[in-house]
Every structure is written in structure tokens, then in C-alpha cells.
């Protein structure tokens, strides 16, 4: 089966086509295309993602991105001319107009695309329906609905965080079996909007253990970078400066707290850490801030990593996990990857980490989650057609 997956929850317009084979016990898949169009330069000027700008950019990008994704998968075929008469065409176009009435710019690009190209040989359309920025999510959902109606395909909503969880198992090519994590597993999901620990009892069986009470880990990286005048997004630049600082083996001259590291739950709090950086910076002159920026980055990163790693390992021990699964933009951080890998092996857990190229938002992870949902749910004969799909900015894993 071929799945067309769409992701527009934040500032990446992403479409991927995934080919899946096998049954739920032995699934295997191949990524036929994985196109990500980043809006990061547009939002950087504002120091963070602006929801309405994201919505506008998704509308502009979706048609060029789907063309590219279909083309790379050899699924983009020009319609024979004149097209075979479709008696329901007028009705379909009317429905598309209704679905995309708030996305006029997208509608105007989509109609010529649909008229020019044949219905591609795909079996399912998957789309992120939350969590994320609702105006951004809606563009992807309405686009998916329009395609589903025009091409008469089933559509499935996927939780963005479930996508990040599955990103740990993404590989370019068919592998049989693709992955066999041992359950129970503990998943650490760390992105710009979320920081969560989840007990994964089996595929698709989740029990939340804890989450951040305020800022997400990625958000804290972004805010600290902003305070230090390092630009957006903060993660990559803060981690680069921290690495350079450590490479020359400088001593710790800044000391920051490790919030909630010893609390007897699995919640996090990164807002206090960010505020500690702010108070420290306020005592310094401009020159001193510049001089100490690498030291602050190194200590802030270490504090974040200490908390994330210690809590993940403790949760894994307590729940007798066999595997630790990690996903989300923050796991691009090299030091966090190394520390988690070391501690997992020291404590006898196997670890599933996404390849760096799959750590940020992408649609291949949405496609893989959809493939596994289809495989597992198909057995129970569940209807996967979700024509009434809605965006939910706070969607929880279930």
C-alpha cells in the first residue's frame, strides 16, 4: 500500500510518500519521497513562529511540495487530454470550494494541479491533526480532505507526537522486519512545543507518565538563544556554542539549577531554568554577556540534558522498560544523544533514536504512524475514513 502523508502543524510544509508491505507482525516499508519545505527564514525575523504567517506559507507551499513528492515517487502523471468525462466533476469542484473557502490561495493553486494530473496510485491519505498551531493544522487537514474527495481516497488523522515517536524507526529502504522494539518501552518526546514521558505498552498503546508544566525543552533552547541574541531557532546554535566551549575543555563558570530533577514524578519544568539564565544575564555588561555566552550555552544545555536523562532512566527502571524510544527536534542534540545512549546501555535498556535527518518535523514519520495504525486497526475492521477530521491544537496521545 502507498500512503501520502501531510504535515503542517508548525513551520515546515512536509509531504512524504511511503510504501508499506507485510502484516502487523512483520511490517516493512520504504520512503518513496520525503519533501520538507522549511519556513524557518520567514519566522526567524519575528524571533519565533507566527501562526498566521505559517498558515499563509503552507497555502503557498502545499501544491509545489505535493508535486515534488509525487514526482520523486514516480507517481506524477499528466492527465490525458481531453480528460475522461467525469459526471461528478462539477459536484466535486463545488465541494472543494466549500472545504477550502478559508484557504483561497491554496484553492487557486490546487484546481489547476488536479485538472492537469491523473489520480495518483495511492491508497491512503494521512494528515497531522494535532497537537500544533491550529491555523497551520487546518491548512493541511483541509488540503487532505480536498484530495480525499477529489481522488476518492480514505483519510486518516495522525497525532504529531505519535509521528515523532515513530521517527525513531524511520529508515530509507525496505527492511524486513523493519523494527522489533521490545515492550514495554518508555518514550521521551522532546520538541519545540512538547516534553513528555510516555509508557508504550505495545504499538499504539500509550500511558502518559509526565510532561512539562511550563516550557518545552526546545522552547527553552529557543528562549535562551533569544536572550543571548543568537536568533531563531535556538537549539542548533546553542548546542554548537556549547560544543565548542566543551571542546576546549573550559571549566564551569556558570551554575544553573536542574529543575525537578529529584521530584518523585515524571513532570518537567524548564521555565525556571530559562529565568535563571535571564537573571544571570541581567547582572552582566554587554561585553561580559558576549564573553560568557558559550559558557552559558554549555551549562544551560547540560542542565537540560541532566534532567531529561535522569528522569527518562528512572521512568524506564520503574516501569521495567526494555526499550527507550526518543523523538522530537531536540534529539538532534548530539550531547543529549550521547548521554542517553550511554545511560541506556549502562542500565541495560536498548535505545531507538531517529536518524538526525528525521529529528525535525517531517511527513515520513506521519506516514509510518499511519501505516502502523492501518496494519493494526485493519485487523479489527475499524473504519479509517475520517471525513470529519478536525484540528486540535492540544491533541493528546491515545
- Taking CB under 5 A as the binding criterion, the range among 116-124, 189-197, 200-208, 233-241 that sits at the site for Zn ion is 189-197
Q: How far is the CB of 226 from ligand KG4 (least distance, A)?
A: 11
Asked if 153 and 117 count as a contact pair (C-beta separation under 8 A), the reply is no
Q: How far is the CB of 49 from Zn ion (least distance, A)?
A: 11
Which of ligand KG4, Zn ion, none is residue 393 near (CB under 5 to 8 Å by kind)?
Answer: none
By CB under 5 A, residue 222 contacts Zn ion: no
CA pseudo-torsion sign 339, 341, 347, 352 = positive
Asked if 323 and 352 count as a contact pair (C-beta separation under 8 A), the reply is yes
366 or 372: CB nearest Zn ion: 366
Q: How far is the CB of 329 from Zn ion (least distance, A)?
A: 6
Q: How far is the CB of 14 from Zn ion (least distance, A)?
A: 10
27 or 329: CB nearest ligand KG4: 329
By CB under 5 A, residue 129 contacts Zn ion: no
135 or 234: CB nearest ligand KG4: 234
Which of Zn ion, ligand KG4, none is residue 266 near (CB under 5 to 8 Å by kind)?
Answer: none
CA pseudo-torsion sign 382, 384, 386, 390 = positive
CB atoms within 10 A of CB 79: 13
Q: Which three cell numbers stand for residue 201?
A: 505498552
Q: How far is the CB of 115 from ligand KG4 (least distance, A)?
A: 34
Which of ligand KG4, Zn ion, none is residue 222 near (CB under 5 to 8 Å by kind)?
Answer: ligand KG4
Q: How far is the CB of 7 from Zn ion (least distance, A)?
A: 8
7 or 374: CB nearest ligand KG4: 7
Q: How far is the CB of 363 from ligand KG4 (least distance, A)?
A: 12
Closest to 325 (Cα-Cα) out of 164, 173, 120: 164
121 or 396: CB nearest ligand KG4: 396
- Taking CB under 5 A as the binding criterion, the range among 187-195, 219-227, 251-259, 344-352 that sits at the site for Zn ion is 187-195
* ∠ Cα 299 305 309 (to 5°): 150
- Compute CA distances 263 → 259, 277, 310, whole Å: 9, 21, 11
339 or 375: CB nearest ligand KG4: 339
225 or 296: CB nearest Zn ion: 225
- Give contact residues for ligand KG4 (rule: CB under 6 A): 10, 191-193, 218-219, 221-222, 233-236, 239, 328-330, 332-333, 360-361
Asked if 29 and 19 count as a contact pair (C-beta separation under 8 A), the reply is yes
Distance in Å from the first CA to the final CA of the chain: 25
Q: How far is the CB of 161 from ligand KG4 (least distance, A)?
A: 8
Q: How far is the CB of 9 from ligand KG4 (least distance, A)?
A: 7
Which of Zn ion, ligand KG4, none is residue 221 near (CB under 5 to 8 Å by kind)?
Answer: ligand KG4
Cα dihedral value 366, 367, 371, 377, nearest 10? 40
Which of Zn ion, ligand KG4, none is residue 307 near (CB under 5 to 8 Å by kind)?
Answer: none
Which of ligand KG4, Zn ion, none is residue 140 near (CB under 5 to 8 Å by kind)?
Answer: none
By CB under 5 A, residue 191 contacts Zn ion: yes
By CB under 5 A, residue 361 contacts Zn ion: yes
Considering only residues 280 to 309 of the shown chain, the ones binding Zn ion according to CB under 5 A are: none
Q: Rounded to an integer, what distance in angstroms lies between the CA atom of residue 160 and that of residue 127? A: 9
Applying CB under 5 A, the residues found at the interface with Zn ion are: 191, 361
Amino acid at each position: 500500500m502507498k500512503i501520502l502523508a501531510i504535515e503542517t502543524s508548525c513551520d515546515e510544509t512536509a509531504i512524504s510518500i511511503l510504501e508499506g508491505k507485510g502484516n502487523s507482525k512483520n511490517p516493512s516499508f520504504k520512503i518513496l519521497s520525503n519533501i520538507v519545505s522549511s519556513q524557518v527564514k520567514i519566522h526567524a525575523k519575528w524571533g519565533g513562529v507566527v501562526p498566521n504567517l505559517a498558515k499563509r506559507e503552507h497555502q503557498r507551499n502545499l501544491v509545489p511540495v505535493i508535486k515534488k513528492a509525487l514526482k520523486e515517487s514516480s507517481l506524477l502523471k499528466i492527465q490525458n487530454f481531453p480528460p475522461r468525462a467525469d459526471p461528478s466533476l462539477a459536484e466535486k469542484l463545488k465541494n472543494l470550494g466549500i472545504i477550502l473557502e478559508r484557504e483561497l490561495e491554496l484553492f487557486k493553486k490546487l484546481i489547476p494541479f488536479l485538472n492537469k494530473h491523473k489520480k495518483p496510485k495511492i491508497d491512503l491519505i494521512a494528515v497531522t491533526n494535532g497537537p500544533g498551531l491550529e491555523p497551520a493544522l487546518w491548512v493541511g487537514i483541509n488540503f487532505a480532505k480536498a484530495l480525499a474527495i477529489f481522488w476518492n481516497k480514505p483519510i486518516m488523522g495522525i497525532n504529531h507526537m505519535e509521528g515523532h515517536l515513530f521517527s525513531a524507526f524511520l529508515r530509507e529502504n525496505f527492511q524486513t522486519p523493519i523494527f522489533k522494539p521490545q515492550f514495554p518501552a518508555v518514550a521521551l518526546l522532546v520538541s519545540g512545543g512538547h516534553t513528555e514521558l510516555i509508557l508504550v505498552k505495545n504499538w499504539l498503546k500509550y500511558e502518559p507518565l509526565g510532561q512539562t508544566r511550563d516550557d518545552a525543552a526546545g522552547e527553552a533552547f529557543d528562549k535562551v538563544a533569544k536572550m543571548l541574541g543568537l536568533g531563531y531557532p535556538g537549539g542548533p546554535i546553542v548546542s554548537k556554542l556549547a560544543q565548542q566551549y566543551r571542546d576546549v575543555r573550559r571549566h564551569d563558570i556558570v551554575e544553573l539549577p536542574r529543575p525537578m530533577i529529584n521530584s518523585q514524578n515524571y513532570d518537567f519544568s524548564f521555565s525556571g531554568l530559562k529565568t535563571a539564565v535571564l537573571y544571570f544575564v541581567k547582572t552582566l555588561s554587554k561585553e561580559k554577556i558576549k564573553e560568557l555566552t558559550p559558557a552559558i550555552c554549555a551549562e544551560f544545555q547540560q542542565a537540560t540534558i541532566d534532567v531529561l536523562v535522569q528522569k527518562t532512566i528512572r521512568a524506564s527502571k520503574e516501569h521495567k522498560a526494555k526499550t527507550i524510544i526518543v523523538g522530537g527536534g531536540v534529539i538532534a542534540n548530539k550531547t543529549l544523544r550521547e548521554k542517553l545512549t550511554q545511560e541506556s546501555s549502562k542500565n541495560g535498556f536498548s535505545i531507538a533514536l531517529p536518524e538526525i535527518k528525521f529529528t525535525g518535523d517531517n511527513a515520513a514519520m506521519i506516514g509510518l504512524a499511519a501505516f502502523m495504525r492501518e496494519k493494526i486497526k485493519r485487523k479489527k475492521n475499524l473504519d479509517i475514513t475520517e471525513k470529519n477530521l478536525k484540528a486540535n491544537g492540544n491533541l493528546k496521545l491515545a
